[in-house]
Amino acid sequence: MTRPAKDALVWTKDRRVPRRQAPSVERIVRTAIAIADAEGLAALSMRRVATDLESGTASLYRYVASRDDLLDLMIDAVQGETAPPALSGEWRSDLAAVARHIRATLLRHPWLGPELSGRPALGANSLRLHDLALAAAGALTPEITLAANVVDTLMAYVFGAVARHLAEELAQRRSGLTEDQWRASVGPYIREVIAGGAYPQFARRVIDGADLTADERFDFGLSCILDGVATRLPTG
């Protein structure tokens, strides 16, 4: 039997059946996801997964050949943990539903966004979700290149919005302050800035502007993206 190339994709490799009492591939992946969710990818290693499973590291390598393979399996597992939205055939509502679905997954797994941004995800769940997004855009245009560009633009917005959301949460955890406590700590300085009169528009924003929730900010930006996409509708 011809052995797979060393750099073969995990999806093209034969899956080994675990021996009795050995951890299954699914259990290995679930354990790795739990570590990444709690501590980030920097804490993830085959040795750490083996430790959490109370198994030998060598045993894991019999079923998952490398950390990269494990990461591919993790990405696909979280992409398939909830059912994707059903398409209605109306491109705007369908693309919005796909965007919200992906945002929810990225927020549940803060390590996921940079991985999806850096390389294509080729597992079955990932491909199924990408195909769904292309089908949603296909109700806007029969041109597959344009549909792909629409999906790419939408995903760029989702990844960017989620990255900002997660960065704000990280800053809050590092400071140890709640949002209200942070506002109270910078309040005296902000009042001095406003009283100085050098930044009138900033002052208007602080005094008169409404504070939107993260969901409201996301939906506003999503509407702007979809409004722009609507200009690509055929006019004739």
- Could you tell me if residue 190 is inside a domain? yes
Q: Identify whether residues 177 and 201 lie together within a single domain.
A: yes
User: What is the pLDDT, as a whole number, of residue 2?
Assistant: 41
Mean pLDDT over residues 93-100, rounded?
98
Q: Which two tokens stand for residue 22?
A: 């050995």
- Could you tell me if residue 65 is inside a domain? yes
**In sequence order, which ranges of the chain are alpha helices (DSSP H)?**
25-39, 46-53, 57-61, 67-79, 91-108, 112-118, 124-138, 144-175, 179-196, 200-208, 214-230
Lowest mean pLDDT among 13-17, 36-40, 132-136, 208-212: 13-17
Confidence band, pLDDT 50/70/90 cuts, at residue 3? very low
Assign residue 182 the CATH number of its domain: 1.10.357.10
Using the predicted structure, report yes or no on whether residue 113 has a pLDDT greater than 80.
yes
**Cα atoms found within 13 Å of the Cα of residue 119, Cβ hemisphere only:** 10
User: What is the pLDDT, as a whole number, of residue 4?
Assistant: 46
Q: Identify whether residues 72 and 110 lie together within a single domain.
A: no
Domain total in the chain: 2
- Could you tell me if residue 2 is inside a domain? no
Q: What is the pLDDT of residues 6-21, one digit of tens each?
A: 566 766 666 655 555 5
Helices and strands of the chain, counted as H and E runs: 11, 0
Q: Identify whether residues 124 and 157 lie together within a single domain.
A: yes
List the one residue out of 236, 235, 222 whose CA is nearest residue 93: 222
Q: What is the pLDDT of residues 42-95, one digit of tens each?
A: 999 999 999 999 998 998 998 999 999 999 999 999 999 999 999 999 999 999
Cβ contacts of 68 within 8 Å, gap of 6 or more: none
- Could you tell me if residue 1 is inside a domain? no
Q: Which of 79, 103, 133 is the last residue of a domain?
A: 79
Q: Identify whether residues 123 and 65 lie together within a single domain.
A: no
Higher pLDDT: 183 or 129? It is 129
Confidence band, pLDDT 50/70/90 cuts, at residue 35? very high
- Could you tell me if residue 5 is inside a domain? no
Q: Which of 44, 59, 79 is the last residue of a domain?
A: 79
User: What is the pLDDT, as a whole number, of residue 1?
Assistant: 40
Cα dihedral 135, 140, 145, 149 sign: negative
Cβ contacts of 4 within 8 Å, gap of 6 or more: 12, 13, 14
> Measured between alpha carbons, how far is 110 from 182 in angstroms, rounded to an integer?
23
**Cα atoms found within 13 Å of the Cα of residue 139, Cβ hemisphere only:** 13
Q: What is the pLDDT of residues 176-201, one digit of tens each?
A: 888 888 889 999 999 999 999 999 99
- Could you tell me if residue 84 is inside a domain? no
Q: Which two tokens stand for residue 106?
A: 């990225």
Structural domain for 206, as ranges: 91-230
Decide: 74 and 212 in contact? Cβ < 8 Å: no
- Could you tell me if residue 86 is inside a domain? no
Q: How many residues belong to the chain?
A: 236
Question: One-letter amino acid identity for 154?
Answer: L
- Could you tell me if residue 236 is inside a domain? no
